[in-house]
Chains A and B, each alone.
Chain A
Amino acid sequence: MALDSLDRSPPPFFRVGFAPLTKLVFFSALSLLLMFGDQQLQFTKPLRAALSTLILPVQWLVLQPGQAWSSLGNHFQSLEQAQQNLKAAELKALELSVRSQQVEQLQIENQTLRQLMGMSSNLSANFQAAEILFDVPDPYNQRLVINKGQTNGVALGSPVIDAGGVIGQITRLYPMTAEVTLLTDQNQSIPVLNSRTGARNITNGDMLEGVPMIELKFVPASADVKEGDLLTTSGIDGVYPAGLQVARISHIERRVDISFARIHAKPLAELQGRHVLVLQPTGAASAAKGKAP
């Protein structure tokens, strides 16, 4: 046992360092500065990116037990269940193939019409597949982290979709990973088009009785909106390609004393599997080609 260890040595007489109160004030001021920078000025981005890259292997390690557990569960899933899934997948593939053949024909038709009218052609979005690593633990935000980042060519602001519809948008980009803010986050907005009426709206996330939903903003109480209306991306924002499914209207509340209706929609993104698609923002694609969107 080392005799010079701390418990046996008397406290230093002269070199005691700064007073605790000084240290408290210094570190508190530093945290406040960082918070202000993070919220308003965005100068903490490199620091956050560096720390997050360093922490990535640890996160990977911590996630392993849970993933092993879930893959074990999948392994022992009953044969019947697997066959049912297969049958459902085959049916869905058949449905989709019918639809995709129609889409092909419509696309050709659309292109010819657009050429006839002299409009710039709609760019088909290029995409890459990514995997959801985990949901961000912060209880104030609704975000998740995917395993593609700056090095994979993901751009800030890219839309992220899954089989059901739009999930959200990439709001923080790290070298190896990226953070996706869900449409149900209160700070996330998306311009939508009511596919029945053609009315354009803007939404943001809102909690309705503890369930994360999407709220339609600034819809007059007299507007033609019905429960079950499908909302798709309108494509006028230069971020989301047009026509992606976003949500279905589920709650409409019209009150006499407010001139706007309170409308909530249930997001169509499934968020059940682990795979998502990261699209390129449409504005970025057309900017790279030197055209106006």
Chain B
Amino acid sequence: MIMDRREALLLPVSPWFIAGSLISAFLVSMLLSFSHALWMPDVLAVCIFFWGIHQPRRVGMAIAFVLGLWMDVQHSSLLGQHALSYVVLSYFAFSLHRRLLWFPIKEQMLQIAPFFIFAESIGLIIRLSTGNDFPGWPILLSPLLETLLWPVANFILLAPQRRAHDPDAHRPI
């Protein structure tokens, strides 16, 4: 069964890389948000979810909460709106982290899509309940695009942990 895992043997992760990836995801989110497209995926949410799956003891709900507050200030939305959806996302990641990585990447995407949709709808419900108008249907595309970003995140964020492919006579794989 363990042979099914494509990334069975990875190098240990550097905490600096985790911090760097979260900060750059925040910057990319910020840059993308200036385009004012409703369907723009939230890169930071994907990054928090990714590390919540792969390093649940390093990136937890506290970090998600703080990053969410920053995001709220940057978006000038209700203070706590992004924080709540990131905390919930991080909790889902924690509850999934032992199971999810046993599946191939396509099935992983199928399993995480509902969580991204749920996290997005938290923000939507909060804003609708505080008297804002529905911003438009393209907002539902955003969690789907976040799901599509999952393989990309896997490729980029695990890159420093992959071993160099170096077979010789004694180590055939």
Contacts and interface: CB of A to CB of B under 8 A. Distances in A.
A55 B78 contact: no
9 contacts: A7-B10, A27-B62, A27-B87, A28-B87, A28-B88, A31-B65, A31-B87, A48-B73, A186-B133
A47 interface: yes
Most A CB contacts (10 A, CB to CB) among B11, B12, B64, B81 go to: B12
Interface of A: 1-2, 5-8, 11, 20-21, 23-24, 27-28, 30-35, 37-39, 44, 47-48, 51-52, 55, 58-59, 62-63, 65-66, 134-141, 143, 145, 172, 179, 186-187, 207
Most A CB contacts (10 A, CB to CB) among B38, B64, B80, B139 go to: B80
A47 B36 contact: no
Contacts of A137: 33-34, 36, 74-76
Contacts of B80: 30-35, 38
Interface string B45-72: 0000000000101101110110011100
A172 B76 CA distance: 10
A172 B77 CA distance: 12
Given A32-B84, A140-B135, A143-B76, A62 B31 contact: yes
B128 to A, nearest CB: 9
B43 to A, nearest CB: 13
Given A34-B83, A140-B135, A134 B34 contact: yes
Interface string B1-36: 000000000111100000000000001001101101
Given A30-B83, A35-B78, 20 more contacts: A2-B12, A5-B12, A7-B13, A23-B91, A24-B88, A24-B91, A30-B80, A31-B65, A31-B81, A31-B87, A34-B69, A35-B79, A38-B80, A39-B78, A51-B70, A55-B74, A58-B30, A135-B36, A140-B132, A140-B135
A55 B58 contact: no
A20 B36 contact: no
Chain A contact surface mostly: helix
A187 B77 CA distance: 14
Most B CB contacts (10 A, CB to CB) among A5, A21, A24 go to: A24
Contact of B76 (A7, A27, A141): A141
B77 A140 contact: yes
B13 A47 contact: no
Interface residues of B, number: 47
B111 interface: no
B88 A139 contact: no
B126 A35 contact: yes
A44 B87 contact: no
The 6 closest A-B pairs by CB, nearest first: A34-B80, A137-B33, A5-B12, A31-B80, A31-B84, A7-B12
A242 to B, nearest CB: 30
B84 A35 contact: yes
B94 interface: yes
Interface in B81-131: 81, 83-84, 87-88, 91, 94-95, 126-127, 130-131
Given A38-B80, A135-B36, A137-B74, A6 B57 contact: yes
A192 B34 CA distance: 32
Given A24-B61, A139-B36, A51 B73 contact: yes
Contacts of B31: 62, 65
A38 B88 contact: no
Interface string B131-167: 1110110010000000000000000000000000000
A271 to B, nearest CB: 14
Given A20-B91, A134-B34, A139-B36, A8 B12 contact: yes
